[in-house]
Amino acid sequence: MKDMKRLFGYMGPYKKDMILGALFVMIETGFELFIPIMISNLIDIGVANHDVNYIYVKGVQMALLALGALVTGLLYAHFSAKASYGWGAEIRKAEYARVQQYAFSNLDHFVTSSLITRMTTDVNVLQNMIISGFRPITRGPSLLIMGIGLSFYMNPKLAFVFVVCTPILAIILFVIVRKVAPMYTRLQSIMDRLNQVVQENLIAIRAVKAFVRDEYEEDKFEEVNHDMAKSSETTFHYAVLNLPAFQEIMYTTIVMILWFGGNMILKSELAVGNLTGFLSYKIFRRKPRHI
50, 56, 58, 60 alpha-carbon torsion, rounded to 10°: 170
Task: Please check whether the two domains, 1-154 and 156-291, share a CATH topology.
Answer: yes
Q: How confident is the model at residue 94 (pLDDT cuts 50, 70, 90)?
A: confident
User: DSSP secondary-structure letter at 49?
Assistant: T
Extents of the domains making up the chain? 1-154, 156-291
- Report the pLDDT averaged over residues 247-270: 82
Q: What is the pLDDT of residue 105?
A: 66
Residues contacting 34, CB < 8 A, separation 6+: 65, 150
Query: Do 71 and 6 contact (CB within 8 A), yes or no?
Result: no
Quote the CATH superfamily of domain 1-154.
Answer: ABC transporter type 1, transmembrane domain (1.20.1560.10)
pLDDT at 211 over 90: no
pLDDT at 71 over 90: yes
Task: Name the class of domain 156-291.
Answer: mainly alpha
* Most confident segment among 103-117, 165-179, 277-291: 165-179
Residues contacting 202, CB < 8 A, separation 6+: none
Tens of pLDDT along 6-53? 777 777 778 888 888 889 988 988 888 888 888 888 888 888 888 889
Q: Which ranges in the chain belong to alpha helices (H)?
A: 2-8, 15-41, 52-101, 104-107, 112-119, 121-128, 134-154, 156-203, 205-210, 214-239, 242-266, 272-284
Q: pTM here?
A: 0.63
pLDDT at 202 over 70: yes
Residues contacting 241, CB < 8 A, separation 6+: 176
User: DSSP secondary-structure letter at 291?
Assistant: -
Count CB atoms within 10 A of the CB of residue 49. Answer: 10
Entry field: residues in the chain: 291
